Amino acid sequence: MLHILIAVGLVLGFAVGLLAAATGSDALMAVALASAPIGTVFMNAIRMVVIPLVMAVIFIGVARLGDLRKLGRLGGTTLGFYWITTPPAIVLGMATMGFFLRFAPEVAMPAAGEQAAPEIPGIVDFLVTLVPPNPFAAASAGSLLPLIVFTALFGAAAAALGGKHKAQLMAFAEAVSATLVKLVWWVLWCAPVGVFGLAAPVTAQLGWDLVQSLAVFVAAVLTGLVLFTGGVFLVLLRWVGGIGPGRFVTGVFGATSIAFASTSTVAALPASLQEASGKLGVSENVADLVLPLGASLYRPGSALFQGAAVVFLAHLFEVPFPLAAAGGAVLAVFLVALTIAPVPSASIFTMAPALDVAGVPLAGLGILLGIDRVPDMFRTVTNLWGQITTSVLVDRWVGGGDKPPADGYRPVDG
């Protein structure tokens, strides 16, 4: 229901803005421009949640891994596959968007005021700034990428502690994360009005060209997802896992349907556990580790989407995108893609570090949020297929030491 309301708010915002631009009506233009403060409040609410949410989910994701030595070959192989395949997804998203931008009309976005792009540092300066001398100052300044590095190191230290101290930190972080997720939902329920306030004034000033650019963006993302899924996952399944595309697609149809409808691989986890071991022959030991870990850490579709979005928004706001900015954006997307919170449109909420590195105004997040439902459904399916593909490949490479039940299914709690 919420995504329908957001879509309605976006369509109304576009409609009012386009009518104001096409007719020159003073009344419609006044309505469109008067809604701008609503969009500003909505964006402030998003920024209010971004820093603590990103820190909480990254800490939980890293600390939950524990000592990698204890995970052995199974965990190491799984994490290695996650980390090796995520950067190519980001680069493919950027490249696909770069190609599609030649079909996008030129759009002169209005000045972003205080959100103007900062000076982009060189590669050496960028690497130096990854380690913050004062994490609290970095949080106050909104510098998310150094905070991510600090939080990841803090989570690794908590994992090494073990015992009651780790348990206490994990319990606190999970409580904070759950509270922030609830807050995100409250913010999202304001999104229909918020996206109207973002879309109407911009469209009134820019007209039809902005709508055409957003259509190009969606087409580029979907093309990138198809290329990555077919060129990486289906190829590896066929030549390493011995599973053809037809068998795979039919074998995971139930989990795919749940993920597509809910835009959540976590919601599809019981079905994916069942279908991976029952229909694809993955051992229970492998499925029980790889799939929950993947639902927490592995989101290549989200990474591809974010890579494409950074390039698109940089083009939209006419921000230069040199090699140093591209490298920093890839690193930022790689880090946050591993720990995206399981909430609707979380890929947009967590894009702030990559935009910060590239010097792109955060106002672009609100523009993407209104059209995110379609890309969200497809990137969630890509995430799910990547997680199940990993379980098949790890089972072939490492082996799980058990066999699935003869009837093809096993009971799954919940």
Q: At what angle do helices 373-397 and 284-297 cross, to 10 degrees?
A: 150
Other beta carbons within 10 angstroms of residue 388's beta carbon come to: 29
> Which of 133 and 66 is assigned the larger pLDDT?
133
User: What average pLDDT does range 294-309 have in this prediction?
Assistant: 88
Taking the whole predicted model, whether its pTM rises above 0.85 is answered as no
Q: How far apart are the first and last CA of the chain?
A: 25
Written as six digits, the tokens of 141 are 């300044």
Interatomic CA distance for residues 405 and 387, integer angstroms:
21
Written as six digits, the tokens of 137 are 């100052």
User: What average pLDDT does range 323-329 have in this prediction?
Assistant: 77
pLDDT tens-place string over residues 87-136: 999 999 999 998 998 887 665 555 444 444 334 445 566 567 678 888 88
The band of 383, judged by pLDDT with boundaries at 50, 70 and 90, is: very high
pLDDT value of position 305: 93
Written as six digits, the tokens of 236 are 């590896």
Residues 6+ apart with CB under 8 A from 68: 75, 76, 79
Residue 407 has pLDDT above 50, yes or no: no
